[in-house]
Amino acid sequence: MALFNRVPRAQSPVLHTLIADHSILTLEAQETLGDYAGDEDWAVDISTGTISFGESIFPVQVLGTLEGSVWQWAWHDRGFADRLDHPAISGITELRGRAQELQIPEFAEPAIKIDELSNLGLLPGAGLASVAAQLIGFNAFFGGDTGQATMFFAVDVPLDEPKMEDLNRYTQQAFHNTDNIEDALRLWAAKRNSRVSEIDGGIKVMLPDSTFCEFFLN
């Protein structure tokens, strides 16, 4: 128990903000991954850097493991600790080196408690996993049950062209996980080839197909 008490708690303001700002992007990517995965068994091939769900195969990197409320980064895992240049963890190893630049000390801690981080209404660990995946260039994450813990992977899935009805739904879901939905909408639009313009009392988001929706934020 003494060792557990020495694990620092994730609490940096930048990390909390990034989880909220990525909420719409995360909900979209996770729903898409869920459509591909369905009820299929999952398998990861570290040698090829891929994860498969039946016939669906995607690029993957290892993020870390969650046991209880304690998250451990893959670069601290004994399976990778002596090979920090391993392709399967190259993304988060680089992220570790950028922790000070990003003002997110949690990325440099071997293990952290994440019980105060938002899980975006998904599974425990989702908030941290989503931000880590996005920052290393992947758009989704997958949490696989290993029996004693949940192992998290960054996954890159192809996204369809955005649809307004989907954006409205994701925005409604994300609204409960952020007090600044405008930033989440702006980040989503920047990543999804959509345009944002100011309107009285809010913003207008125009999709690539020229459909649009006005979001009133006051």
Q: Which long-range contacts (CB under 8 A, 24 or more apart) does 161-167 make?
A: 161/207, 161/208, 161/209, 162/28, 162/192, 162/194, 162/207, 162/208, 163/207, 164/207, 164/211, 164/212, 164/213, 166/28, 167/24, 167/205, 167/207, 167/213
Rounded Cα–Cα distance for residues 84 and 71 (Å): 18
Same domain, 177 and 87: no
| Its pTM surpasses 0.75 | yes
- Domain boundary pick from 104, 134, 155: 155
- How many domains are there within the chain? 2
Supply the range of the domain harboring residue 206. Answer: 164-216
Same domain, 46 and 140: yes
Same domain, 109 and 170: no
Same domain, 109 and 168: no
Rounded Cα–Cα distance for residues 142 and 148 (Å): 16
Same domain, 180 and 106: no
Residue whose C-alpha is closest to residue 167's, from 35, 34, 31? 31
Same domain, 182 and 80: no
Per-residue pLDDT tens digits for 48-107: 999 999 999 999 999 999 999 999 999 998 777 677 778 899 999 999 999 999 999 999
Same domain, 72 and 150: yes
Same domain, 109 and 91: yes
- Domain boundary pick from 102, 129, 155: 155
Residue whose C-alpha is closest to residue 213's, from 194, 192, 187, 191? 194
Same domain, 26 and 133: yes
- Domain boundary pick from 137, 155, 173: 155
111 token code pair: 């293990």
Per-residue pLDDT tens digits for 192-213: 999 999 999 999 999 999 999 9
Same domain, 146 and 102: yes
Same domain, 149 and 168: no
Same domain, 56 and 119: yes
